[in-house]
Chain A
């Protein structure tokens, strides 16, 4: 009962946030003294008053701002997010094309961050105040202090340019055709096609940007895991477990870790949001054809239909991720009550 009401409230909040975000970006876009008619129609069409009138009518451009906004919402609900000024294509089509690349990169990245972060955090807590703990703590602070754009360039310089161990920018090597699996997730597509050379190539392309993108989140997770584990280890039930003669490894793995990782869930959610922001820089540096690069290019081009579309998409993902982490939190920790 409590959960259902909680869910409904959160989903209502999701809708309101999306309305707020769209309103915010919409107002921003109209602070720019640019003429959307001139930007959207070709030179030849600009001489055609009928076309101009039709375009103005479709987006309500001759109406006051709030009417324009409602027109945008109406068109949006009909699945029409407008035409990108830069690519001259439907924003929805653009987003559908670039979305999988970003999600594949983000998921791969968050997996690296979670695995390394939790591992480092456990080791750090077990060997508290030892030399290795100091090193790992320094690594975790380093992770949150690295300027991502610079770290990305440095990694490319070392592993691609100097050592040649890993491929350069892009999602796949020059020798491969774009996978035709249909999902847009190249790893899955390659698996479907049973093309293991392609799979390996995609994986190698993913590695560098994913590591760079995940460094920040990895630092956060290391920190939280260490703090959580240290807190749990001082509890009475851990003393009981030790007193009954359990091996230290069993105490940590079976008794302590489960509870220590609960706060980590929240951090993973936060980290994922950070990751989405990071894609703007990482995708630009690594020539990754994803939503982040699309957002950057649209922003510098003042391509506002595209910017509103990207903003809505990212805000939606961000809120859904936070909702999922909050729900997981409740499932894992029965003390949490939804109110």
Chain B
């Protein structure tokens, strides 16, 4: 009897309403999307597989991706070399696996950085308002009013071609869309009662921005991130193809495709790294499409 009462009391705090945290909400959303949308689930599975490959590639590559062997250069796909070998006799299968590390993390990293920069920038712009807002937003629009790939190419060439400068260039062309979304969220949310309440309780501007407004605008920012993921992976691959990624021996999908340009007849040199880019971009876009369909209630009805 006594025991039971004790148990009951222990349970009470657990049944209390607890605001689910952002990560929990994200996970629930992800899980529901996977259940209701086949293509989203497919994209998520492929993408997860590639992420796993990123982490374990050093342990599963059959050959050293940098090991050259001129005796077997340009050998066609075979049991020993599943994807064949390239112009320096390196195993392409190993290089595709190893190349996932830079090629995929470049896309993910540039999205995270762009979203962070854009969110802070747009948050400040929307929060301060007035002339500051006008000037900041015109600056952001300046970047948008220009084809991204050409701007990124110019920036990365001007800074000197290197992996970091190329990533920086991609961030420079990507962040403004996040700034715009964040700004419009701030302007809408600023008028809400709970923000008024926080203000009247004497909360500082920074607290209102980070504690009240930011958690509520994370949704649209995440949607945009999902939509941009495939695009940024492609942009990085393109710049890498143009020779603006890391220096040559490092395996990188875009550059590996360009390795095959000169020796056209050996189709496998370009084909497999290209297929790797395609599968990752497809997976990312399947997820992005699913999220966009979900966000558009008119399309949701028909699912």
Q: Are B155 and A147 in contact (CB under 8 A)?
A: no
Q: Which A66-118 residues have C-beta < 8 A from chain B?
A: none
A residues less than 8 Å from B285 (CB atoms):
141, 144-145
Q: Is the C-beta of A31 less than 8 angstroms from some C-beta in chain B?
A: yes
Q: How many A-B residue pairs have CB under 8 A?
A: 137
Tell me the bound Cα distance from A104 to B41 in angstroms. 41
In the complex, whether A307 has a CB less than 8 A from a CB of chain B is yes
B147 and A296: CB pair below 8 A?
Answer: no
Q: Does B294 belong to the interface (CB within 8 Å)?
A: no
State whether A300 and B265 are in contact (beta carbons under 8 Å apart), knowing that A29-B158, A231-B298 are contacts in the complex. no
Whether B298 pairs with A147 at a CB distance below 8 angstroms is: no
Contacts of A234 in B (CB 8 A): 298, 301
Q: Does A157 touch B at the CB level, under 8 Å?
A: yes
Give the total of A residues in contact with B, Cβ under 8 Å: 55
**B274 is contacted by which of A128, A137, A153, A322 (Cβ under 8 Å)?**
A153
User: Is A24 located at the chain interface by the 8 A CB criterion?
Assistant: yes
The contact of B264 among A21, A148, A157, A281, by CB within 8 Å, is A157
Interface-side segment among A54-62, A242-250, A254-262, A313-321: A313-321
Interface residues on B, range: 35 or more
* Inter-chain contacts of B277 with A (CB < 8 A): 147, 150
CB-based nearest A residue for B231: A144
A228-250 near B? 1/0 per residue, CB < 8 Å: 00110010000000000000000
Contact pattern, B 14-38, Cβ under 8 Å of A = 1, otherwise 0: 0000000000000000000000000
Least Cβ distance of B121 to chain A in Å? 17
Q: Does B137 contact A (CB under 8 A)?
A: no
CA A223 to CA B288, docked complex, whole Å: 13
Query: Which of A32, A150, A315 lies in contact with B270, CB distance below 8 A?
Result: A150
Determine whether B58 belongs to the interface, using a CB cutoff of 8 Å to chain A.
Answer: no
A221 close to B (CB within 8 Å): no
Determine which of A21, A137, A150, A299 lies in contact with B278 in the assembled complex, contact meaning CB atoms within 8 Å. Answer: A150
A230 close to B270 (CB less than 8 A): no
* B299 beta carbon closer than 8 Å to chain A: yes
**Residues of chain B from 121 to 178 with CB closer than 8 A to chain A in the complex:** 138-139, 141-142, 145-151, 153-155, 157-160
Q: Which of B77-85, B93-101, B184-192, B234-242 contacts A (4 or more CB under 8 A)?
A: B234-242
Chain A residue numbers with a CB within 8 Å of B234 are 145, 147-148
Tell whether, in the assembled complex, residue B154 and residue A299 are in contact, meaning their CB atoms are under 8 Å apart: yes
Residue A273 CB within 8 A of the other chain: yes
Docked-complex contact A149 and B158, CB < 8 angstroms: no
User: Which B residues lie at the A interface, using CB under 8 A?
Assistant: 39, 138-139, 141-142, 145-151, 153-155, 157-160, 230, 234, 237-238, 241-243, 254, 257-258, 260-261, 264-265, 267, 270-271, 273-274, 277-278, 281-282, 284-286, 289, 296, 298-299, 301-302
Other A-B pairs, 7, CB within 8 Å; known A156-B264, A299-B154:
A17-B145, A144-B285, A147-B274, A281-B238, A300-B242, A302-B158, A307-B154
- 4 smallest CB-CB distances across A and B, nearest first, come from A150-B274, A277-B147, A277-B149, A145-B281
